[in-house]
A and B are shown apart, each in its own frame.
Chain A
Amino acid sequence: MKILLITEQRDAQWNKVSFETLAAAQQIVQQTKGTLTGVVIGKGISALAADLVAYRLDEVLTVEHDLLEKYTPDAYALALRQVIESTKPGLVLFPHTYQVRDFAPKLAASLDKGMIGDCIGYRYENSKLIFVRQMFQGRTSADVVFTGDAPWIASFQASAFRADLAAKHSGGTAPVKSVRVELRPEQIRTKPLDLFREAKQAVDLTQAPILVSVGRGIKAPENIPLAEKLAKLMGGEICASRPICDEGWLPMDRQIGSSGQTVAPKLYLALGISGAIQHVVGMKGARTIAAINKDQNAPIFEVADYGVVGDLFEIVPALIEELEKPK
């Protein structure tokens, strides 16, 4: 199977999920005895192409154009459509980033194809490629297969594969080719403006050794101090899943997950967090994960080392009492 891996960069900086998807693509190529072409798209990307050729790929394509300097869904979809039409791959793989979810379905539809997005893995069984994705916010998995003709278009969720397992090229480097694409300014309807961050991060959660994290199960803002007290006793910081910060119960800079911070503390204690994938990608690197949740089927227990099925309003006060005892 001929695979096209579309990498992602911004201002000549890699989106590192690209290398996780590279690891997946290398694995699929090996199993299907295919070829792998890496694509770098943007402007001023020659240094990135030079990074990529060091990996085990058959070739690297650079797609450069003035109109690709700043991302727009129109320019990216139009350019990549031309790349796909000229290279005729069997499978096109993307890292499932916010940018990819913004344009890849459009690109697929413009080719009259569907996309299997946000996959957490795949299986290759009896010469059949089966993509695994989550449904019901991680409460179930689903096996999904393509039913139409190539090209097939799919994306892999962040941290579904390990970037450090992406293999280096055995014979030095892969060849680089530049692909010309036709784009006209009037085809691009979006006007990209400034990139910015909001208020400075008041707290750097990535440095905290222990994190106590609260989710919907905390029920009301007046219950937050209970979790804060536990965090303090443990010598850690408090953080939360997205809905809690959306509600304003904790500031946005304490949000863990794909739209917030990614952390890897030595202990992550999840209180009343169901464990939707958007949250789990931000904390699954923790050395030890403990979770308290009333629903025994909550997906957080799939990544937890220690689990308690029960009422956090009974267990957290008991934990506080236990920790207040002299050792």
Chain B
Amino acid sequence: MKIAVCVKQVPAKDAPLAILESGAWIRESDIGFETNEPDTFALEEALRLKEKHGGEVVAISMGPERSKQTIKEALAKGADRGIHVSDANFFKLDPLGSARSLAAAIQSENFDLILTGLQSDDQGFGQTGVLLAELLGRPHATIIMAIEVVENHMKLKRELEAGWFQHVELPLPAVLSIQSGINKPRYATLKGIMAAKKKEIATVDRATLNVPDAPTQKVERIYMPQKTKKTEFITGQPKEIAAKLVEKLRHEARVL
């Protein structure tokens, strides 16, 4: 099986976020980045499918130069090669523009299976997999909790809401968005990290893809959320905090 997995680099979970004065995006200069956690589950699933059925895993990431690091991490975990779609102003793309660019970059590869994570922890559009399927003319399924490949089709377990699941069958080639928690992603081994240095990362300049990217939507402004509730913050030493909180829950909120 020839499998593509889309991996995105996002600000680290604990990175302190500051918003640019223009409100267009966050200040990227002082923060660390990491692989989008939902994508690590998709990568792990791709590696397991390869181990079972043979073939190749290609890690694809779009973004500025720094996002190559995310491809390198995928290579260290066992992906065979990488494709970096480079664009320094990648954050300005809308979901359709992103998906069109990715589709254009991988179209000629004819992957049997394309996997994405559920959504990104930064913009959180959660549309890339579904859009890639439509643009590449492939069937798709999302929020996948199990994959079983039988000859040229797949039996899948989809998660629905409120504890429900559904089995669906889908022919290959196809696109799947993987639910977080489907597996336990592996760590890169030292051997894997060394081996990754010899693996190929092809770079495609997004501008050369000639993708129509007139946006369908525009983020006008990013800002700190407005509070819907007035939170009463309790301060002091741990013992004082505990005493005050218990007092308030007992006698003010009267819920204890």
Contact = CB atoms under 8 A, between A and B. Distances in A.
B214, B220, B245 — most chain A CB neighbours (10 Å): B245
Interface stretch (B82-90, B107-115, B226-234): B226-234
Contact of A146 (B217, B222, B228): B217
A279 interface: no
Interface stretch (B58-66, B198-206, B246-254): B246-254
Contact of B256 (A142, A234, A242): A234
Q: Among B125, B170, B216, B233, which residue has the most Cβ atoms of chain A within 10 A? A: B216
Given A106-B134, A139-B17, A307-B234, A193 B168 contact: yes
Interface in B122-170: 122-127, 130-131, 133-135, 139-143, 159-170
A207 interface: no
Q: Which of A140, A245, A297, A309 neighbours the largest number of chain B CB atoms within 10 Å of its CB?
A: A140
Nearest to A106: B134
A122 interface: no
Interface in A249-299: 252-253, 258-262, 266-267, 287-290, 295, 297, 299
Given A106-B130, A242-B181, A307-B233, A318 B241 contact: yes
Contact of A135 (B222, B246, B256): B222
Interface string A200-238: 010000000010000000000000000000000010000
Where chain B touches its partner, the secondary structure class is mixed
A147 B214 CA distance: 9
B251 to A, nearest CB: 11
Given A117-B127, A148-B216, A259-B159, A321 B242 contact: yes
B133 to A, nearest CB: 7
Q: For chain B, which range describes its interface: under 10, 10 to 19, 20 to 34, or 35 or more residues?
A: 35 or more
B216 A288 contact: no
Contacts of B246: 319, 322-323
6 contacts: A114-B216, A144-B219, A245-B181, A306-B245, A306-B253, A310-B241
Q: Sort A-B residue pairs by CB-CB distance and give the 5 closest, nearest first.
A: A114-B216, A246-B181, A318-B242, A189-B139, A193-B167
Given A234-B256, A287-B253, 20 more contacts: A98-B159, A101-B142, A113-B96, A114-B95, A117-B95, A118-B124, A138-B225, A140-B225, A141-B224, A147-B215, A189-B139, A195-B164, A195-B165, A258-B161, A299-B225, A302-B231, A303-B228, A305-B253, A308-B233, A318-B241
